[in-house]
Amino acid sequence: MRTIPVPREGESFDGSTAVVPGSPSVVARWCAAQGWPVHPLAPGRKTPVRNCPRCQAGRHDPATCPCIAAGRPCHGFHAATTDPALIARWWASSPSPGVGVACGPAGLVVIDIDAHQAPVPDRGQLLPGIRIPEGVRLDGLASGFDTLALLAAYRGQTAPAEDEHTLRVRTPSGGLHVWYRNPDTSVRYRCSTGSARHPALAWQVDVRAQGGYIVAPGTRTPQGVYRAEGTVRRPAVLPEWLGSELRRTGHVSEPRKNDVPASASPLTAAPPRRRPVFAEQIVEPLITLVAECAAAPEGTGFTEKLNRAAYTAGGLVGAGHLDHGTIRDRLVRVAHHARPWQQARNEKIVDDALAVGSVRPLHLKGRP
């Protein structure tokens, strides 16, 4: 059992280091000491550092990328590591990169509660799979804090946002990341976005797990700092009721044949299997078809093409080949460019198709 104290703001990792107290390099080393692979985020941002020019230009599989083998942080969470030497190198630069944690290999399930200004949907869409009776007043319900509290209340449990036994990180936009440890590595939880219909835990509540990463506490963006709340600095075991809810809402991937347990590859987020077919090679041509719909306002088969791209991407996310947040952003951006007047509809198509696709993981084992 590791007993490394978590640095609080202004505290250093331990007395022997020359790093700036509370700096990202301290956080990165602390995360790695917990067994959580880390990767650098672009300074001031919550997204990974850019790939090198070669990796930006070429579409190839992160698992076979020579950059990762050579210790360069290309391909976001695929490059994540617990190697102290690599971490020392990656976080030596200035301004210091923020810290991303690859949730899957870290065995983490993070509940990402949003408080975005958005119109509240119909009560049938607040808690997927649960009918909220008309008699229940929903005045004042405005965010993921409320929907998740409602779900917890239905189950007679403490709302995760109020769970003082686990690491909780306040985000600059007023959201909250509630960190939990997956106690059973044979169960693989998958990511979701709370604006999708399925799988989703609750409206404005995202799940970050296999195939995703989470911003570590201490990371600074122009909007503010990701700041740990209260005094607890370690993730508690995922509460049983929450595990059941994740299973009920389609967040559990069935174990695959020849699966490699997460604990077998502590040094890198990328699965050690070779994958000669690259996720990007499959999805990029489909995204190009969507982009080309910008040429005409109708009659281009836009919806079908967007559906197909997002569904396929969902399968690749479900299998851990693509990061959910990254590919969703890209699909939404391309869709908005082609059909800027129907942004809500674009997002709905993307979220729904990603969700349905991720239930059918697309494993890349050989050339088509």
For residues 30 to 69, the per-residue mask of contacts with Zn ion, x marking binding by CB under 5 A and - elsewhere, is: ----------------------x--x---------x-x--
CB of residue 213 to Zn ion, shortest distance in Å = 17
Q: Smaller CB distance to Zn ion: residue 273 or 337?
A: 273
Q: Which of 153, 162, 64 is nearest to 113 (CA)?
A: 162
Choice between 310 and 364, CB closer to Zn ion = 364
Q: Could you give the string, one character per residue 125-164, with x where binding to Zn ion holds by CB under 5 A and - elsewhere?
A: ----------------------------------------
Q: Binding string to Zn ion for residues 205 to 244, with x set by CB under 5 A, is what? A: ----------------------------------------
Using the minimum distance from each CB to Zn ion, give the nearer residue, 65 or 113.
65
Q: Report in angstroms the alpha-carbon separations of 151 from 160, 167, 190, 240, 353.
A: 10, 20, 19, 14, 25
Q: Is residue 269 a contact residue for Zn ion (CB under 5 A)? A: no
Shortest Å, Cβ 270 to Zn ion:
11
The strand ranges marked E within the chain are: 38-41, 98-102, 108-113, 168-170, 176-181, 188-189, 205-208, 213-215, 220-221, 224-225, 227-228, 236-237, 252-253
Least Å from the CB of residue 69 to Zn ion: 10
Of 49 and 67, nearer to Zn ion (C-beta) is 67
Q: Contacts with Zn ion: how many residues (CB under 5 A)? A: 5
Looking at the Cβ atoms of 52 and 359, the one nearer to Zn ion is 52
Measured over the CA atoms of residue 45, residue 5, residue 165 and residue 39, the dihedral's sign is positive
SS (H, E, C) 318-340: HCCCCCHHHHHHHHHHHHHHHCH
3-state SS string over 155-223? CCCCCHHHCCCCCEEECCCCCEEEEEECCCCCCEEECECCCCCCCCCECCEEEECECCEEECCCCEECC
Which listed range, 72-80, 120-128, 154-162, 238-246, lies at the site for Zn ion (CB under 5 A)?
A: 72-80
Our CB check for Zn ion shows the closer of 66 and 121 to be: 66
Q: Token pair 């990341």 is at which residue?
A: 177
Q: Which of 6, 28, 38, 74 is close enough to bind Zn ion by CB under 5 A?
A: 74
Answer yes or no: are the C-beta atoms of 151 and 130 closer than 8 Å.
yes
Binders of Zn ion in range 275-334 (CB under 5 A): none
Residues that bind Zn ion (CB under 5 A): 52, 55, 65, 67, 74
